[in-house]
Structure 1
Amino acid sequence: MRKTPLILMAAALPMAVNAANTEFSYGGYIKFDAMYSQYSDGDMTAASGGRDFYIPSTIPTSNNTAEETSSVDFNARSSRFNFKTDTSLDNGQNISTFVEMDFLLTGDGNEVVSNSYNPRLRHAFIKTGNLLVGQTWSTFMNVDALPETVDFLGVSDGTVFARQSQVRYTNGGLQVALENPETTVVGVGATDDSGIPDIVARYNFKAGKNAFTVAAIGRQLAIQDGVKGGVDESTMGFGINVSGKIALGQDDLKFSYTTGQVARYVGLASAADAMRDADGDLQATDVSAAFIGYRHFWNDQLRSTIAYSMLDADYDSDNVADTTEASSVRLNLMYSPVAKLTYGVELSKATHKLDNDAEGDLTRLHFTTKYAF
């Protein structure tokens, strides 16, 4: 009987030795959001992610046939938790890991009794030396260029935004990555039929307090039905992104411009990557997306950001009933009485238009309280 504890201790010894060379840390934040939203052309369903944060494609549209509606939403679903390890190896190298979760966009849970929601995976990656493998921000995306907004993302229609599995190599300011491919097709949705990974090259550079990024991407857009004699089409897509932050004293100006056949990478995939023409050939969607945001510090505790963002999609044919335009403007006031605690209020106005001329507007007043730890 007494041998069991000794055996367990012996089994745990290697783990204890490894732990002696490993630093563990955790972080995240608690965020409460309260929103009053008005929709010009119909109701946004309670299950829509657009009730939690701004997703351009979820704004209801009509040809002036739907009535104006409104909704009030309280939630804490964007609260997140992360866990990190750093391990020093005997050969002098370092291995780090990072895992993060929040509760947005999960299907389970409701607001009737308990508001219970499943966690979702945001990041899970391993980094050693110049190599990163796992799921994290796409190399095509510049997180540091995002303006400060009360909304979870704010400039959704104008920014590159994607997290996905990848293999990334970094050498100074240069980054090269192979990333998980995906294609969205009008009337079909996501196909997951690409035969090669998305290839991204990016270069980051600084000039004083200013920071800039230039990125390029090449990708295969594909669709197949798996049936002999069925649809098996592909085409190539390319895109570029230029983004950065310009310091203006204590204030800052952030911007981004993206163009090419990169529809799923911008606007939270509001526009489809491609469509099939009359001959069944796959035709890529050309998109342009941009945002600009200016942040002004009134004092050490009080600041405001005004931001504008837009998306324009051009399909090979007309009247495909998919997003062709989206734009938004927002103004906020953020107050941090102590470090890591922020209260914020934001007023935003957004427009969503389909290429069959159906359109709709969203007006939202958004309050938040956030504590980072």
Structure 2
Amino acid sequence: MRKTSLVLLASALPLAVQAANTEFTFGGYVKLDAMMSTYSDGPLTVGLGEDFYVPAAIPTGGDETTSFDMNAKSSRFNLKSVSTLDNGEKVTAFFEMDFLASGQGTERITNAYAPRLRHAFFNYGNLTFGQTWTTFMNTGALPETVDFLGVSDGTVFARQPQIRYTMGDFQFALENANTTLDGSGDTALTDDNTLPDIVARYNMKMGDHAFTVSAIARQFATQDGAGVDESANGFGINVSGKIMVGGDDLKFSYTTGNVSRYVGLSQLPDAITSGSSIEPTDVTGAFVAYRHHWNSQMRSTLAYSMYDAEQDDGVERSSNSTRLNLMYSPTKAVTYGVGVEYTMANIDKDGVEGDMSRIHFTAKYSF
């Protein structure tokens, strides 16, 4: 027994020396979601729509259906380290995973789902390397919703590998590029881009209020091996922020441009191939949300979100949703009981509509 202890102690010494200059912290939350959903033209065929609100998953052209779903897949775990280097500078690393969007596992017996990578990055000086939220997205403007995302129609949403430089309130980033193309009714994801997505962002504060303006430049490209080797450029802009109204807050976001992959959870392809050219999709997305604190433990958010897009071939897509919730936190770490959200949503696919109404309950413990 003593020999084993000595061996373990000896093997732990290198880690102990390293840990003397590194501080580790972990966090995350355990979250249960339960949803009762009614679809005017169901049934739901895209499984991801059972986990959270995905506008494109709303069925069209069928009969009304109602379904109940319960899961804990949005539960997450993260690990953070802050190390002091030999030169006295610090490097921060962050890693996080959850279990959403997993193709593994069923609800039949064990509900076992594979973890997915959310964040994996490190900061050194003014530079960030790795996967995290796109610089084009302002997470500080996202409203508090029971749904994983809530304002899915109108918000910028993407996590991806990038190199980001921060200089005061300015941020500049080179981010992973991908193009979704629609040529003959089939959507394909291509990796033929020769340039990364380029993002510039400016954050500003005015008292308790906060605003962000960001712009993105993109390349759309395809090489199909059959003589088609084309590319086109696209641009987009986002304005978002938070305005304090006494103890309440008003959050908003407006995005427009050739940013289909970034807005509305990619309801339409980034571009279409038309003959020997690529024509980018024009997208507009927006949301506004007002949160009122009833008291120190209870608050409500009323949010409206919209999306509108048109392809060069005349294909149109629009969706919108309205949600109202009541959140109750007996302590800072726990939200449960009355964490109920009611969602009304509509999607229009070239004149064919579908509606969804959902009552969503959650219980969450953060650690």
Do both proteins adopt the same fold according to a TM-score greater than 0.5, normalized to the shorter chain? Answer: yes
Change (3 A) 1:78 1:7: closer
Q: Which residue of structure 2 lines up, in the alignment, with residue 135 of structure 1? A: 131
Q: What amino acid is aligned across from residue 24 of structure 1 in structure 2?
A: F
Q: Which residue of structure 2 lines up, in the alignment, with residue 20 of structure 1? A: 20
Q: Which residue of structure 2 lines up, in the alignment, with residue 271 of structure 1? A: 268
Counterpart selection for 1:240 from 237, 241, 260: 237
Equivalent runs, 1:29-68 vs 2, <5 Å? 29-45=29-45, 48-62=47-61, 66-68=62-64
Judge conservation of contact 2:257–2:282 (CA < 8 Å) in 1: yes
Matched, 1:328 2:321: yes
Q: Which residue of structure 1 lines up, in the alignment, with residue 342 of structure 2? A: 347
Counterpart selection for 2:365 from 342, 359, 371: 371
Q: Which residue of structure 2 lines up, in the alignment, with residue 94 of structure 1? A: 90
Q: What amino acid is aligned across from residue 347 of structure 1 in structure 2?
A: Y
* Cα displacement (A) at 1:190: 1.2
Give the distance between the partners of 1:164 and 1:170, measured in 2 at CA.
17
* Cα displacement (A) at 1:3: 11
* Cα displacement (A) at 1:224: 1.5
Judge conservation of contact 2:187–2:269 (CA < 8 Å) in 1: no
Following TM superposition, the consecutive aligned residue runs of length 4 or more in structure 1 with deviations greater than 6 angstroms are 2-11
Give the distance between the partners of 2:91 and 2:154, measured in 1 at CA.
35
Judge conservation of contact 2:81–2:94 (CA < 8 Å) in 1: yes
Change (3 A) 1:112 1:8: closer
Q: What amino acid is aligned across from residue 341 of structure 2 in structure 1?
A: E
Equivalent runs, 1:107-118 vs 2, <5 Å? 107-118=103-114
Q: Which residue of structure 2 lines up, in the alignment, with residue 194 of structure 1? A: 193
TM-score (structure 1 length as normaliser): 0.93
* Cα displacement (A) at 1:193: 1.5
Give the distance between the partners of 1:200 and 1:337, measured in 2 at CA.
40
Give the distance between the partners of 1:281 and 1:337, measured in 2 at CA.
58
* Cα displacement (A) at 1:90: 2.5
Q: Which residue of structure 2 lines up, in the alignment, with residue 280 of structure 1? A: 276
Q: Secondary structure at the match of 2:19?
A: helix
1:304-344 Cα deviation digits (max 9, x unpaired): 000000010011012x4xx6101100000000111111121
Aligned residues: CA RMSD: 1.7
Q: Which residue of structure 1 lines up, in the alignment, with residue 222 of structure 2? A: 223
Give the distance between the partners of 2:343 and 2:187, measured in 1 at CA.
32
Give the distance between the partners of 1:48 and 1:116, measured in 2 at CA.
15
Equivalent runs, 1:287-298 vs 2, <5 Å? 287-298=283-294
1:12-49 Cα deviation digits (max 9, x unpaired): 5443221101001000001101100011112103x610
Give the distance between the partners of 1:240 and 1:75, measured in 2 at CA.
36
- In the alignment, structure 1 segments of 5+ residues that lack a partner are none
Counterpart selection for 1:184 from 149, 169, 180: 180
- In the alignment, structure 2 segments of 5+ residues that lack a partner are none
* Cα displacement (A) at 1:7: 8.8
